[in-house]
Amino acid sequence: MASPTTLPGLPPGAADPCVHCGFCLPTCASYRVLASEMDSPRGRIHALRAIEAGELELDATVASHFDTCLGCFACVTACPSGVRYDQLIEHTRPKLINAGQRSAWQTSFRQLLLQVLPYPNRLRALLQPLRAYTGTPLQALARHTGLTRLFGPEIEAMERLLPPLAAEAFSDQLPLINPAEGACRGRVTLLLGCVQRCFDPNVSTATVRVLQANGFEVVIPPDQGCCGAVSHHQGELELTRRLATDLVRSMNGIEGQLDAVLVAASGCGHTMKAYGELLTTEDTQFRAPVQDVQEFLAIHGLSEAFRARLKPLATTVAMHDACHMIHGQGIQAQPRQLLRAIPDLQLKEATEAGVCCGSAGIYNLVQYEEAAELGRIKADDLSSTGAELVASANIGCTMQLRRHLGDRADVLHPMELLAASAGLHPLPGVLKGSRIAKVAGEREDR
């Protein structure tokens, strides 16, 4: 009998069940666009076994095949043998950071992103000069003429994702205490996120309004920072632990009862649910369970008072399942269940719901070609449903989808749709004039 496979530094036996059947290949986003065995889960598992056996070195070429992995975990869902590829890639990523495995520019660019993205104040300082540019004819002209290409493909990829910057992006608007409406059903806190609070601040406000109207008090600690999802995804464990520890301290500093730590971005929720493994000492764990807000509302149910407020939104919505939601947290039915509560709203299903859109943390900035191809495929799949709107509950996916869908469909968070239907919070300014904004406007006029 063969001895169990133990990969250096990897969970013992994590790769053992792989029987090379290839069932994971059709769901793998990197294999989809690169069509190379080395860029598939099966190929990477084979490489890891060869490294363990001393037959292969983790040099720059081999490392590049791990860098093409999006960490979407579609292969984990697809694998009939129970291979924990998620554990394998998460344990491999820290080894890719060593000098010599990436170009000097790639290393510096990743470090720059990690010095900015997890810190809202730094991000805001960098974005401030761009307020006069985003959403203006100048931006449209720069994109149309290809001017942004002059700054290099990574900068061009960043610029392509840049949304119009709302005034709310530059300061947190929500107060510490957001009281429950009616009889109080519980007390929760909400992660504002780092990227989300700058690029889509409307999501947090809509989420808080929906929770309040459902009878939950929402406490927002003003000193909360990043959850560490971006650095976690890059295998930067020291930075992740620092950010996670600070966030736990901030949330645990809330006085009184706390029933849940809620998240409205699935990438963040996936990392926060992994704090049990990332943080080892007992005093650094949250004192309430981490839940996605949709998971939380599906468990507790929408209140009768809230249901009575919901007015028709006569529109069609294609649900986008973020990988860290569907594969990472097993959440698929809950967002649909909530959206079905909105009268006249019709849900549409895309053909390839489980395949990554190419966002994947900073993947669409550092592996921009593969990400752009995946973004185009996903946008075509979603728009082929004929839906006027796409629902996305992850900020990274939302930005990627907005870029690639263009004017084919608006992209909103399910909480924004619930808030709009309940007349609690207006739709984001960028959507004014769109079909869904008109529908919501008609609803308000009734």
Q: Is 20 in the site for ligand SF4 (CB under 6 A)?
A: yes
What's the min distance (Å) between Cβ of 291 and ligand SF4? 24
Q: Is 36 in the site for ligand SF4 (CB under 6 A)?
A: no
Q: Select from 7, 14, 29, 188 the one that contacts ligand SF4 (CB under 6 A).
A: 29
# residues contacting ligand SF4 (CB under 6 A):
26
Question: Quick check: 104 and 120 in contact, CB under 8 A?
Answer: no
Which of 14, 165, 34, 20 minimizes the C-alpha distance to 92?
14
Token output for 326: 């569907």
What's the min distance (Å) between Cβ of 58 and ligand SF4? 17
- Which CB, 35 or 112, lies closer to ligand SF4? 35
- Which CB, 92 or 202, lies closer to ligand SF4? 92
Question: Quick check: 174 and 220 in contact, CB under 8 A?
Answer: yes
* Helix (H), strand (E) at residue 263: strand 260-263
Q: Select from 9, 13, 22, 386 the one that contacts ligand SF4 (CB under 6 A).
A: 22
- Which CB, 16 or 168, lies closer to ligand SF4? 16
What's the min distance (Å) between Cβ of 356 and ligand SF4? 6
Mask for 43-62, x = binds ligand SF4 (CB under 6 A): --x-----------------
Residue 377 phi/psi, 5-degree rounding, is -60, -45
Distance of CA 301 to the CA centre of its chain: 24
Q: Select from 28, 244, 310, 318 the one that contacts ligand SF4 (CB under 6 A).
A: 28
DSSP, res 222: T
Token output for 296: 């939380």
Binding span for ligand SF4 by CB under 6 A among 15-23, 115-123, 241-249, 418-426: 15-23
What's the min distance (Å) between Cβ of 66 and ligand SF4? 9
Question: Quick check: 46 and 8 in contact, CB under 8 A?
Answer: no
- Which CB, 49 or 435, lies closer to ligand SF4? 49
- Which CB, 21 or 132, lies closer to ligand SF4? 21
Q: Is 18 in the site for ligand SF4 (CB under 6 A)?
A: yes
- Which CB, 69 or 117, lies closer to ligand SF4? 69
- Which CB, 33 or 391, lies closer to ligand SF4? 33
Sheet strands side by side (includes 389-392)? 346-348, 316-320, 389-392, 410-412
What's the min distance (Å) between Cβ of 20 and ligand SF4? 5
Which of 60, 70, 45, 71 minimizes the C-alpha distance to 95?
60
What's the min distance (Å) between Cβ of 324 and ligand SF4? 11
Q: Is 24 in the site for ligand SF4 (CB under 6 A)?
A: yes
Mask for 64-93, x = binds ligand SF4 (CB under 6 A): -----xxxxxxx--xx-x-x-x--------
Report 278-317 residues binding ligand SF4 (CB under 6 A): none
Residue 160: how many other CB atoms lie within 10 Å: 19
Distance of CA 139 to the CA centre of its chain: 25
| Beta pairing, strands 260-263 & 290-292 | parallel
In 163-256, alpha helices (H): 195-199, 202-213, 229-233, 237-252
φ/ψ bin of 289: left (φ > 0), alpha (ψ from -120 to 50), beta (otherwise): beta
Q: Is 125 in the site for ligand SF4 (CB under 6 A)?
A: no
Residue 81: how many other CB atoms lie within 10 Å: 12
What's the min distance (Å) between Cβ of 423 and ligand SF4? 40
CB neighbour list of residue 190: distance below 8 Å, 6 or more residues apart = 204, 207, 208, 211, 218, 220, 262, 263, 264, 293
What is the Cα–Cα distance from 15 to 160, expressed in whole angstroms? 38
What's the min distance (Å) between Cβ of 366 and ligand SF4? 14
The residues of the shown chain that bind ligand SF4, judged by CB under 6 A, are: 18-24, 27-30, 41-42, 45, 69-75, 78-79, 81, 83, 85
